[in-house]
Structure 1
């Protein structure tokens, strides 16, 4: 465990050092950062613009476990935030909600976020729901949306296999999801995949945008009765993503914080080591910041 921790720390340190040296050289005038907060909640900064993605801001154990899922007897979130919630939202310019499941858009976020903050949703239905919760500047994200000098591209995906979506009740509860590609001059193109399994849509985004940074939800969450058929990506999908985008840095998130995740950071770290992906896959701890 100590070896894995040290290797991970050294790899992250190299990213920090490389990013700092590049900025200091004058070759890059703006910064780019990805900060893992907890679960699927991350902050992405492009220069002067910071986005908060999928905020789940409740205290540890605030909600019952998700019914009919793996370890549903546990209460969510399984761990606390790595910093006060007020610090999480400090300095953000906009919020992106990829879908409105509780572990991506929770009651605490709805209370704590300023009601006038620009907020992007995946479709009219989600936008209307969020407006009904008191938010006044809710926008539907479309391909080529511009905000704060950053181009945002909505991407597709599916929150589970076709087998799960063939069950009407599951199809309704899993619903629609989106990912987002971020582009800006002088920045590394970043692809936030969202809660999707490996799909043609994901492969097409990788081929079209050739992202240099990929934020991948890798907890392999499962619903009861469909063991081995996760509703988001897992360790094998991390390898598959690397094979499709071998020059990209993959930042693995959405682990260790909600009950139905079957893949932990430690297990993914073992797999990354076994497959020789250490130079390509980062597994940040909650609160950890990766700079480019």
Structure 2
């Protein structure tokens, strides 16, 4: 297994000899306006450039997984640049919207999806806290990868720590966990994804797993920096269990 951080929530997972592109945001730096109701309203998105060319990112991709349709997970550039016949895995009603953008090979993730011998298990998530915010943000998902030749991988997606994540950890017992950890926030509602305390809860629930924190410092509403997370993990004594990649950095397990 090889996991490469591209930018924001966009990662490449090479697993059981297949290459997956997850949550592609492929636009050039500064293409989109800042998210309303958030900090840094003077900063366009994405706030950093891709670490490599789009051609390098999408070359050889066997399937794309889109955990939900927010701009920073599936943007106009991805819709334009990805081959329309590529295999796409999405959640529920998102399939119709993805098909409407021209993609022809779209499948809805379930609890027992199989792709080229790899089991893909759709997992739950909550994109913030509180009924009003959850309604505003809509449904999201994550995915667990399983194959006899590989360690178990859990990509949590845009979720905060809550009992649903605990249940996914208890059920699947992943060896590697990718969390979206920038603590991105709306000023009025608070956190939309995991902050440092959420990530610490993930570690405590799966103390033997390696946790990789992505979705950091790439769109205007982040509040948790890589450096702060690294320092916090040292203070709490779990720095050996957490990886905080720079854009373009890869890990092999």
Which residue does the alignment assign to 1:272? 233
Does the 8 A contact of 1:61 with 1:78 survive in 2? yes
Verify: 1:217 aligned to 2:180, yes or no. Answer: yes
Q: Secondary structure at the match of 1:238?
A: helix
1:20-39 map, 5 Å: 32-39=1-8
Normalised TM-score (structure 2) = 0.98
Distance 1:171 1:212 in 2: 29
1:208-287 map, 5 Å: 208-226=171-189, 229-287=190-248
Distance 1:72 1:180 in 2: 32
Does the 8 A contact of 1:213 with 1:248 survive in 2? yes
Q: Which has the higher strand share?
A: 2
Q: Secondary structure at the match of 1:250?
A: strand
Verify: 1:157 aligned to 2:118, yes or no. Answer: no
Distance 2:94 2:178 in 1: 22
Distance 2:95 2:219 in 1: 25
Does the 8 A contact of 1:212 with 1:249 survive in 2? yes
Distance 1:101 1:186 in 2: 33
Normalised TM-score (structure 1) = 0.85
CA positional deviation for 1:172: 4.2
CA positional deviation for 1:73: 2.6
Distance 1:73 1:232 in 2: 22
Deviation beyond 4 Å, 4+ runs, structure 1: none
Q: Secondary structure at the match of 1:279?
A: helix
Does the 8 A contact of 2:161 with 2:199 survive in 1? no
1:128 to 90, 96, 103: 96
CA positional deviation for 1:47: 2.4
CA positional deviation for 1:144: 1.1
Q: Max radius of gyration: which structure? A: 1
2:44 to 62, 75, 100: 75
Q: Secondary structure at the match of 2:186?
A: coil
Verify: 1:117 aligned to 2:86, yes or no. Answer: yes
CA RMSD of aligned residues (A): 1.0
Distance 2:183 2:27 in 1: 22
Distance 1:69 1:155 in 2: 28
Which residue does the alignment assign to 1:13? none
Structure 1, unaligned runs of 5 or more: 1-31
1:183-222 map, 5 Å: 183-222=146-185
Q: How many residues align?
A: 253
Residues 251-271 of structure 1: CA deviation (Å, up to 9, x unaligned): 110001001111011111111
Does the 8 A contact of 1:98 with 1:178 survive in 2? yes
Does the 8 A contact of 1:97 with 1:104 survive in 2? yes
Moved more, 183-192 or 65-74: 65-74
Does the 8 A contact of 1:70 with 1:221 survive in 2? no
